[in-house]
Amino acid sequence: MSNFAWMLVLVLILTVLGSSALLLVTVKYYWGERGTAPLTGEERRNQLREELAQRTKQMEYSEKHPREPRSPDFFDNRKRYSKSSE
C-alpha cells in the first residue's frame, strides 16, 4: 500500500476510535453509573419548584442569620460572634 492509503487507514481508525469514545462517554453519562436519562417536562417543572422552595428557605435563613464581616485586622483570628448572641 502506498503512503496515502496508509494515511487514509490511520485517519479512518482514529475517527472510529474517537467516535466510539464519544459514544461511550455519552451513554455512561446519561444512562450509566453517573445518572439517569434527562428529565421530562413535568419532572423538570417539579425539580424547578423544589429548587425555588429551597432557595426561598435559604434566603429567609440568611435574612434571619446575617453573616458577620471579618475583622479589618489581618492578624485578628478570633471568632466573630453576632451582637445578638452575646
Q: What is the pLDDT along the chain (86 residues), one digit of tens a residue?
A: 789 999 999 999 999 999 999 999 888 877 766 666 777 899 999 999 999 999 999 999 999 988 877 777 888 777 766 565 44
CA pair distance 83, 86, nearest whole angstrom: 6
Q: Which has the closest alpha carbon to 64: 44, 46, 47, 84? A: 84
**Domain-wise residue ranges, the chain:** 1-56
Q: What is the pTM of this model?
A: 0.44
pLDDT at residue 86, as a whole number: 44
Encoded amino acid at 15, one letter: T
